[in-house]
A = this chain, B = another copy of it.
Amino acid sequence: MPTIDLTLLTDFYQLTMIQGYYKLNQKDQVVVFDLFYRSNPHGSSFSIAAGLEQAIQYIKDINFTDDDIDYLRSQHIFKEDFLEYLKSFTFTGDIYAVPEGTVVFPNEPLVKVIAPLREAQLIETALLNIINHQSLIATKAARVKWAAEDDIVLEFGLRRAQGPDAGIYGARAAVIGGCSATSNVLAGQLFDIPVKGTHAHSWVMSFPDELTAFREYAKLYPMNCLLLVDTYDTLRKGVPNAIKVFQELKEKGIKPKFYGIRLDSGDLSYLSKKARKMLDEAGFTDAIISASSDLDEYLIRDLKLQGSKITLWGVGTNLITSKGNPSFGGVYKLSAKYVDGAFEPKLKISENPDKITNPGNKKIVRIYDKETGKIKADLIALQHEVIHENQSLLLFDPNATWKHMRLQPGSFIARELLVPIFKNGTCIYDCPSTFDIKQYCNKELTTLWDESRRLTNPQTVYVDLSEELYDLKHTLMKQYKSMQ
């Protein structure tokens, strides 16, 4: 399937800067950039990393065509030798990343790029765009699925998504985060994820009456017969008509694999309880009640608390746009330069202490409690550091160092989260299928305590710095201070 050429999907200033680096002959200045974020969307205690597969594809496909070069030339700011250089541009660096579907926390490098400055700079914008978007939607989906407990959640948002890609990749991310299927056929085709859907109000309106519409639908799809019952009057017409059709199927000896009703307006708690009673009294105790009206994690939670009888939730606009928090604040910051065979750590100072970056070539070590398998804390450490499970480990809050805890040897499991993706410009990572990522994500979510999954004001999961990184950061901060 042809995809749009994304080579120019970048901010103009990347190209003006890259021409600068080219002119200054900083060709071989290898640097480290971290892609990380500072706070979770929706007040969550965690996020779900997603989008890596598309980010990899983007990097593999970078190719300045003659049209691209002509376009850049028309801006009258780029020199011919630089344009010539762009023609042969390829990414030659290393990339490490957290696998898609991993539970992640603020300030951790989700992606680490080690590459010549100009290459690291070119890919910044598209990397951020892709990973910000999919991580946002996967995180929202994990929240919605948490609210729905063991019920099934379907992604129904394509018509309200922010453009085709937002619908396509949003559906992928939603499935990773917890949805069982999508209504989006193209996403189904592209990512081999289940697609679902039955009929709309227009189906009912295109027949002389609702009962005829339901009968015709059941004739066509007897095995998969979910009827939308709110076109005219849910309880007085829709549900009785649906029951009539289910009875007719029964009389014909047809046993649908999957059947029931869909509610799309009105009070879903009230209507679902009434409809359940009517279906049960008619003997259709296994008929499903599904709903799809302006749902999000909060409404689903409240409806379940009120004993609503819905067990299948079609979530549209609020999931696909991550309403309430429609952006994931991923940033991309220089953390080191490779000078004389070693990484020289760099720091971005800010008036706001939370915005001071973590310097150096780093890794993330996740510490699990050995007994429960739950996450104890994450440790951001320098690349060369080794955490020994058979030694004791000091964890302390980098913003309140008096908050500390020493883990006993053998009481924890340490896991490094960043895995190699590109080596010298070659992709060395096999992207798992979307379904496998979804399964992995589901397992990842079980490593969080329930207290950290709560929708509002959840318990924070601690992201600490290793002692060595903490000391390095503070030494550099003092150096900057003394330079002023």
Q: Is the CB of A12 within 8 A of B167?
A: no
For A328, give the chain B residue with the smallest CB separation.
B160
A161 to B327, CA, bound (A): 7
Q: 0/1 per residue, A4-19, Cβ < 8 Å to B?
A: 1111111111111101
Asked if A203 is an interface residue, CB under 8 A from chain B, the answer is yes
CA distance A231 to B337 in the complex (A): 17
Smallest Cβ-Cβ distance to A236: which chain B residue = B484
Q: Which residues of B contact A263 (CB under 8 A)?
A: none
Q: Are A329 and B203 CB-contacts (below 8 A) given A12-B196, A167-B9?
A: no
- Across the two chains, which residue of chain B brings its CB closest to A223? B77
Contact flag A12-B183 (CB < 8 Å), given A17-B203, A334-B202, A346-B205: yes
A161/B133 in contact, CB under 8 A:
yes
The answer to whether the Cβ of A201 comes within 8 Å of any Cβ in the partner chain is yes
CB distance from A295 to the nearest CB of B (A): 13
| Contact of B168 with A166 in the complex, beta carbons under 8 Å | no
A231-B348, A322-B326, A327-B317 known; A205 vs B334 contact (CB < 8 Å): yes
- In the complex, the answer to whether A186 meets B9 with C-beta atoms within 8 Å is yes
**Across the interface, do B348 and A67 meet the contact criterion of CB distance under 8 Å?**
no
Tell whether, in the assembled complex, residue B23 and residue A220 are in contact, meaning their CB atoms are under 8 Å apart: yes
Give Cα A134–Cα B164 distance, bound, in whole angstroms. Answer: 11
Given B2, B13, B186, B205, which contacts A8 in the complex, CB threshold below 8 Å?
B186
A137 contacts which chain B residues (CB < 8 A)? 162
Beta-carbon contact of A158 and B125 below 8 Å: yes
Tell me which of A24-32, A391-399, A410-418, A445-453 binds B.
A24-32
- In the complex, which of the residues A17, A33, A349 has the most CB atoms of chain B within 10 Å of its own CB atom? A17
Number of interface residues of A (CB under 8 A): 110
Please, which residue of chain B has its CB at the minimum distance from the CB of A350?
B265
Q: Tell me the A184-207 residues at the B interface (CB within 8 Å).
A: 184-186, 188-189, 195-203, 205-206
**A48-88 vs B: 1/0 string, CB under 8 Å?**
00000000000000000001100110010100000000000
| A327 partner residues in chain B, CB cutoff 8 A | 160, 162, 317, 321, 323
A121 CB, nearest partner CB in chain B, Å: 7
Whose C-beta in chain B lies nearest to the C-beta of A324?
Answer: B326
Query: Which 9 A-B residue pairs are closest in the complex by CB-CB distance?
Result: A13-B197, A12-B197, A163-B165, A165-B165, A326-B326, A128-B159, A8-B186, A321-B326, A2-B2
25 A-B pairs with CB atoms under 8 Å apart are A3-B4, A10-B158, A11-B156, A12-B197, A14-B200, A16-B221, A17-B200, A20-B216, A33-B202, A117-B206, A124-B159, A126-B164, A128-B160, A129-B163, A132-B159, A132-B160, A133-B163, A160-B329, A163-B165, A163-B169, A165-B166, A205-B348, A231-B348, A233-B484, A321-B321
Known: A117-B206, A129-B158, A232-B480. 8 other contacts (CB 8 A): A2-B2, A9-B158, A12-B185, A17-B202, A68-B189, A128-B159, A136-B162, A206-B337
